[in-house]
Amino acid sequence: MSARHFLSFMDCTPDELLQLIRRGIELKELRSRGVSHEPLKNRVLGMIFEKASTRTRLSFEAGMIQLGGQAIFLSPRDTQLGRGEPVDDCARVMSRMLDGVMIRTYAHSTLTTFAANSNVPVINGLSDDLHPCQLLADMQTFFEHRGSIQGKVVAWIGDGNNMCNSYIEAAEQLDFTLRVACPEGFEPNARFVERAGARIQIVRDPTEAVEGAHLVSTDVWTSMGQEEESKIRLETFKAYQVSRELLDKASRDVVFMHCLPAHRGEEISHDLLEDPRSVVWDEAENRLHAQKALMEFLIPHTRNA
Ligand code: CP
Ligand code: NVA
């Protein structure tokens, strides 16, 4: 199986990631000038969604159309995947018909199993462990607003979840310091923390994490699949809300990001998305441009078979 996959930030070299970020900025500019760019004509992306999505679905589907190709939405509710057909069988079949597959799923092992049996690129559109496409967009957004992120300080406030794990990988690959402020018992996965070494610090106090930070980011307290825990999580994370006052304690040129959807009054204060330091709408838009760069990089422009 020779295809390149993007299941995690570690699937690319730091140089490749920087190239993707630059290319996302270029593709955004081309689109704003109305220039048509269709390197993926006749290419088809399959998109398997086992969880809900607005941004991921739209950005992959619109992105493929803009690149000259097409995307097919597949839900487990109406495919054989949902009726127990093994993931490796599905991968073998789908990769004979498609030019790439994007998967949003629960267990990360679904992605690795699929990729191991796929002849075409597999892209992680979010798993319980990681959300690398969101990180491409976040990094593009930081580059657009503030330039290189190397040597900067990023604060992650709240749950040590899939987004947090992807921030850890980004810190490793793009060489920035990440401070995670989370309650006890909600730390990011030790596997990611140990590998990142000194680049990541875990603290309990959000104020300590944001001190001097150039980027502050957070996410929902209850991720998809954790709905049964939401009551206890609401209680546990109360002290981890990001507000204007918390951002005042960061660097003067701090930017605020949130992958969205956001819950105002929970992980962010009601007014935060409207604060001039918030770049969340650019961040959401950049999913489109960053993933177009990714698909242009991964999906072969001509088919050999
Ligand atoms: N940020 C993000 O992945 O959004 P969706 O769940 O809407 O795709
Ligand atoms: N951590 C969230 C991200 C949603 C885009 C979740 O997994 O539900």
Radius of gyration of the chain (CA): 19
Q: What is the pLDDT of residue 156?
A: 99
Choose the residue to mutate in 220, 259, 268 for probing ligand 2, maximizing ligand atoms within 8 Å of C-beta.
220
Q: What is the pLDDT of residue 208?
A: 98
SS3 per residue for 144-202: HHHCCCCCCEEEEECCCCHHHHHHHHHHHHHCCEEEEECCCCCCCCHHHHHHHHHHEEE
Are the beta carbons of 218 and 246 closer than 8 angstroms?
no
Q: How far apart are alpha carbons 52 and 56 in whole angstroms?
A: 9
Is 195 an annotated catalytic residue? no
Q: What is the pLDDT of residue 73?
A: 98
Q: What is the pLDDT of residue 287?
A: 99
Q: Which ligand is closest to the CA of 59, given by its number?
A: 1
Task: Point out the catalytic residue in the list 23, 214, 233, 287.
Answer: 287
pLDDT tens sequence for the chain (305 residues): 679 999 999 999 999 999 999 999 999 999 999 999 999 999 999 999 999 999 999 999 999 999 999 999 999 888 999 999 999 999 999 999 999 999 999 999 999 999 999 999 999 999 999 999 999 999 999 999 999 999 999 999 999 999 999 999 999 999 999 999 999 999 999 999 999 999 999 999 999 999 999 999 999 999 999 999 999 999 999 999 999 999 999 999 999 999 999 999 999 999 999 999 999 999 999 999 999 999 999 998 765 44
Residue 212 alpha carbon to ligand 1 centre in Å: 29
CB atoms within 10 A of CB 250: 23
Q: Which residues line ligand 1 (CB under 6 A)?
A: 53-56, 126, 134, 259-260
Residue 91 alpha carbon to ligand 1 centre in Å: 24
Closest among 206, 204, 212, 205 to 176, alpha carbons compared: 212
Q: Which H or E element spans position 105?
A: none
Is 259 an annotated catalytic residue? yes
Q: What is the pLDDT of residue 300?
A: 80
Choose the residue to mutate in 47, 49, 51, 54 for probing ligand 1, maximizing ligand atoms within 8 Å of C-beta.
54
Closest among 201, 162, 212 to 178, alpha carbons compared: 201
Q: What is the pLDDT of residue 305?
A: 42
Choose the residue to mutate in 260, 263, 280, 282 for probing ligand 1, maximizing ligand atoms within 8 Å of C-beta.
260
* Angle (CA) 120 75 54, round 5°: 95
Q: Which H or E element spans position 44?
A: strand 44-49
Q: How far apart are alpha carbons 74 and 78 in whole angstroms?
A: 8
Q: How far apart are alpha carbons 286 and 282 in whole angstroms?
A: 6
Is 104 an annotated catalytic residue? yes
CB atoms within 10 A of CB 19: 14
CA torsion through residues 255, 259, 264, 266, sign? negative
Are the beta carbons of 154 and 167 closer than 8 angstroms?
yes
pTM of the model: 0.97
Is 150 an annotated catalytic residue? no
Annotated binding site for L-ornithine: 162, 219, 223-224
Are the beta carbons of 20 and 294 closer than 8 angstroms?
yes
Whether 220 lines ligand 2, by a CB cut-off of 6 Å, is yes
Residue 76 is classified by DSSP as G
